[in-house]
Structure 1
Amino acid sequence: MFRFSASILAAGALMLVSASAFADDARVRLNKDYDEMTAAEKTAARTAGRDMWRTKSLATLRVCGDPGNMPLSSMQGEGFQNKMMEVVAEALGARLVHFWRPYLERGITRQTFETDDCDVLVDMPAVYRGVLTTLPVYRTAYVMAWRSDRGLDITGLDDPKLKDLKIGVYQTSAIREALKRRGHTANVTLHTVSHNGDLIPEQQPSYQLQQVLDGTLDVAAVWGPFAGWYATGKGEPITVLPVNLMDDDVPLEFDLALGVRPTNAVLKYALEFALDDKREKIEEILRSFGVPLVHCSRCVVSGDLPAHGSYTKPFDVMQAPRSAQSPDQLVNRERLEAWLAKGANVQVELANAVLASDEERIRFLVEKGGNVNTLDRQGYGALQSAARSRKDKLIPLLVELGADINGRDRDGFTALSNAAQRNHVPSIRALVERGADLELAVDGGFGPLSLAIDGGHFLAAKALIELGAKVNAVSGEDRVTPLMVAATWLAVGEAAKEIELRQGLRSTDIATALIDRGADVNAANAQGITPLMIAAARGNMAMLGVLLEAGADPDLKSHAGKKAIDIAADSLNPDAVKSIKLFQATLSGRAHQPDEAQSEKEKL
């Protein structure tokens, strides 16, 4: 599974957050998310966290670290994240243990928290779905960097000089989007996402600074800590220009925090006490690495650089205007012929053509032997790449050229699953119209519908429901249905507000759509858990109302012998208990209310 596990859905296992450190505090439960906790429960968790810090009672602090991404982290412990966590562990009296995993977005919580490999993720965005974060540790920004002896004197993202310069950017960076909106595509060199930076230093994102020094790039548009490390930590002749004030639509500054499981409020607070305790040492570490620190009143460490402040509208890469390419930027057949003649890899060029949405190039490269089903260096076939990039106009062409509509990428995702993860309805419709299987699951787990709901991609979920996805399909050995997944999503809280702002939908809207299509409100998973029990465990009041009104039976019992009201009580959700009792009383009143027609007859 992805956002939640069957053990949490079972809800009968009422384990304490940490039996060793605070087993006597029964008010803090492992199966309760932070957003669901009452003020009293949060106070109890904060007290337990403070006591953990004061008594130095945490035995082990398990941290997920990137094995090769300097200056952030390395297996040798050389990065500033490594050194910062050493200081935090010391403040907690804990032994520091690392689980090494590249910090790639896909699976970042599924392959760390849900597999119980670690308890802390470092430098997470302060708001990140599926993760409970501490107060921000610091705020930093993207920058532009170039050799100080080049005399470039670049003024910013809108400097006309940039069009004549070779600019290096990271594949998934926000600054790449900011540059694209200004027409910089052909003069941009991408540093692609890599899984093996620990083995090949040239694969690490910061390597583009070395390319600037070597002269293969004129400018690096990069994450600020990378450039700061070269300029300050390594003393290289690099000029660093923060760009966080130069775009009002694309966020180029970010608050970074430590992340824990949503159910581990005690550890969150313990970490916050430790961070505050070691504030000066942490700032010393960050500055020694040259991290550009932006002013942030709510951060543990505030900086001197001016902050942009809040952005007035949600950032969506699909809003980006497309700039026309100049003749010298176009990749035509003649250029491709020349590149191929010099030994260019046809599959690499095909992958580039898909990313560029260039249909003519794609056709030409297939004629030259390119295979649309061969996985690229990142593990995607052409169709999966198009779906991930929201390029729905390419889907008909790729299918025409032989793309397997149900083919899988290296992680087992079909194009439809990728489109669902990107919440892109046009791509979903284009794939389904051409025969994509609505039910193919990812490695025996979720199918596209449950995957979309689990990720909070409600536009995608709504489209899949309308296109005929099976609303009672079960996933995995735990036999979880889409309605069960929807029941885990609260209709209130920060995550819910963000989803409603961006998508205009709530989890209750998806639940209603599922029910309208015939979803079984009383379906039970492998542990006998129903959607109502899940909503009760999470104190999901709005969802409880939807399910009860749709006929959910509050008297059903799980295999552990628990009814929904029992699970609500065990999970310390008194409002859910009251809601179920009120509904049962209302039903009882209806049952004892005499039929109006019969009553009139009796009067006569």
Structure 2
Amino acid sequence: MPAWAARYVVAALAGLGLPATVLAQTSDLVSTTAFRVCADPANDPMSNDKETGYENRIAELMAKKLELPVSYTWYPMATGFIRNTLRANKCDVVIGYAQGHELVLNTNHYFTSAYTLVTQEGSTIDGVDTLSDSRLKDKRLGVVAGSPPASHMARNGLIAAARAYDLMVDRRYESPIIDMLDDLKAGEIDGALIWGPISGPLVKSDYPGMTVTPLVKETLPPRLFYRITMGVRQGERVWARKLNSLIRRNQDEINAILIDAGVPLLNDMGTGLLGEGN
């Protein structure tokens, strides 16, 4: 590592209250001149190449705290995303990644959310919060094929009437969640089972008259809530700890960005909305 880069990292670690001895573990792959983010260019409401998604806003916050500019490597979040971005050393962090995924080293989580049931306000299933509710019998529910809610639907006899939407797509050309919400608006389905950090913001911005209900009462597997972290390259523990410190010290600002976007935030156990004491 060049002397100027070493001095920069030592100063940064000192500012975080971390011992300078961790410098020896710092990877030379992490940029010291930009906050390099791996992101999908068409993954609204999370990220896009216009930099208006809530993950873009979180990236800007992190970069500001590091006193660095944001630099993006854009790649569709489908097969090969991590291999062609993070592992190829084209960028240093993925802003949103599920906790425990083996492709990356996870930071501490910065929010918890759940799958949701989206319904038309005033419908007979408006506010239903468990997939075992008898009111869902014979209802036409949209679901992303292979997603966790599909297993619960099968258990509760809801698959026969379901409409499936594609899981792995290039969002530059296909938008199955938008299609699902459009079908709900048109009355072609009765409800839509969608990951909350997607459904909440989309409904808030573009689908007035719909209700987003987090499914926090399911007790059987698979779980429907997940803790979301930032992802870095495996082995870059110093970089992960640096991000952990930034997350911890700026959690209120991160929460404000997520709440403003419409993301349903849950407590760490996924049993209720954040702040409700559940």
Which category describes the TM-score, using the shorter chain as reference length? 0.7 to 0.9
Partner SS, residue 150 of structure 1: coil
**In structure 2, do the counterparts of structure 1 residues 164 and 231 end up closer, same or farther at CA, with 3 Å as the change threshold?**
same
Partner SS, residue 242 of structure 2: helix
Provide the TM-score with structure 1 as the length reference: 0.40
**In structure 2, do the counterparts of structure 1 residues 175 and 290 end up closer, same or farther at CA, with 3 Å as the change threshold?**
same
> Post-superposition shift, 1:65?
0.8
Q: 1:98 — aligned with what?
A: 72
> Post-superposition shift, 1:193?
2.8
- After superposition, the C-alpha distances for 1:188-241 in whole angstroms (9 at most, x for unaligned) are 1111034331244xx243442232122222100110122211343446111122
1:304 is aligned to 2:275:
yes
**In structure 2, do the counterparts of structure 1 residues 23 and 135 end up closer, same or farther at CA, with 3 Å as the change threshold?**
same
**In structure 2, do the counterparts of structure 1 residues 194 and 306 end up closer, same or farther at CA, with 3 Å as the change threshold?**
farther
Q: 2:123 — aligned with what?
A: 150
- After superposition, the C-alpha distances for 1:140-173 in whole angstroms (9 at most, x for unaligned) are 0011110003243435201223232111111231
- After superposition, the C-alpha distances for 1:90-140 in whole angstroms (9 at most, x for unaligned) are 111111111112222x33322222222211112212211131111101000
Q: 1:232 — aligned with what?
A: 204
- After superposition, the C-alpha distances for 1:47-82 in whole angstroms (9 at most, x for unaligned) are 998xxxxxxx93111111112121111111121111
**In structure 2, do the counterparts of structure 1 residues 207 and 67 end up closer, same or farther at CA, with 3 Å as the change threshold?**
farther
CA contact (8 A) 2:113 2:225 kept: yes
Q: 1:58 — aligned with what?
A: 32
Identity %: 25
> Post-superposition shift, 1:245?
2.1
CA contact (8 A) 1:145 1:241 kept: yes
Q: Distance in 2 between matches of 1:62 and 1:222?
A: 29
Provide the TM-score with structure 2 as the length reference: 0.83
- After superposition, the C-alpha distances for 1:428-454 in whole angstroms (9 at most, x for unaligned) are xxxxxxxxxxxxxxxxxxxxxxxxxxx
**In structure 2, do the counterparts of structure 1 residues 92 and 155 end up closer, same or farther at CA, with 3 Å as the change threshold?**
closer
Partner SS, residue 199 of structure 2: helix
Partner AA of 1:190 in structure 2: A
Q: 1:123 — aligned with what?
A: 96
The structure richer in helix per residue is: 1
**In structure 2, do the counterparts of structure 1 residues 24 and 145 end up closer, same or farther at CA, with 3 Å as the change threshold?**
closer
1:215 is aligned to 2:187:
yes
CA contact (8 A) 1:175 1:221 kept: yes
Match of 1:167 among 120, 135, 141: 141
Q: Distance in 1 between matches of 2:20 and 2:247?
A: 19
1:286 is aligned to 2:258:
yes
Unaligned runs of 5+ in 1: 1-15, 27-40, 50-56, 308-604
1:172-571 counterparts in 2 under 5 A? 172-200=146-174, 203-234=175-206, 236-296=208-268, 303-304=274-275
Q: Distance in 2 between matches of 1:47 and 1:236?
A: 53
**Larger relative contact order (Cα-Cα within 8 Å, sequence gap ≥ 6):** 2
Q: Distance in 2 between matches of 1:175 and 1:305?
A: 24
Match of 2:43 among 69, 80, 88: 69
Q: 2:15 — aligned with what?
A: none
Q: Distance in 2 between matches of 1:81 and 1:260?
A: 15
Q: 1:469 — aligned with what?
A: none
Partner AA of 2:275 in structure 1: D
1:108 is aligned to 2:104:
no
> Post-superposition shift, 1:174?
0.9
Q: 1:388 — aligned with what?
A: none
Partner SS, residue 294 of structure 1: coil
CA contact (8 A) 2:143 2:165 kept: yes
**In structure 2, do the counterparts of structure 1 residues 260 and 187 end up closer, same or farther at CA, with 3 Å as the change threshold?**
same
Q: Distance in 1 between matches of 2:23 and 2:146?
A: 36
Q: Distance in 2 between matches of 1:43 and 1:259?
A: 23
The structure richer in strand per residue is: 2
**In structure 2, do the counterparts of structure 1 residues 20 and 237 end up closer, same or farther at CA, with 3 Å as the change threshold?**
farther
Partner SS, residue 259 of structure 2: helix
Q: Distance in 2 between matches of 1:25 and 1:90?
A: 16
> Post-superposition shift, 1:42?
9.3
Partner SS, residue 122 of structure 1: strand
CA contact (8 A) 2:166 2:176 kept: no
CA contact (8 A) 1:46 1:265 kept: no
Partner SS, residue 110 of structure 1: helix
Q: 1:21 — aligned with what?
A: 5
Q: What CA RMSD, in Å, does the superposition of the two structures yield over aligned residues?
A: 3.0
**In structure 2, do the counterparts of structure 1 residues 47 and 275 end up closer, same or farther at CA, with 3 Å as the change threshold?**
farther
CA contact (8 A) 1:70 1:206 kept: no
1:82 is aligned to 2:56:
yes
Partner AA of 1:138 in structure 2: F
Greater mean deviation of Cα atoms: 128-137 or 253-262: 128-137
Q: Distance in 2 between matches of 1:206 and 1:46?
A: 46
The count of aligned residue pairs is 263
Q: Distance in 1 between matches of 2:275 and 2:206?
A: 21
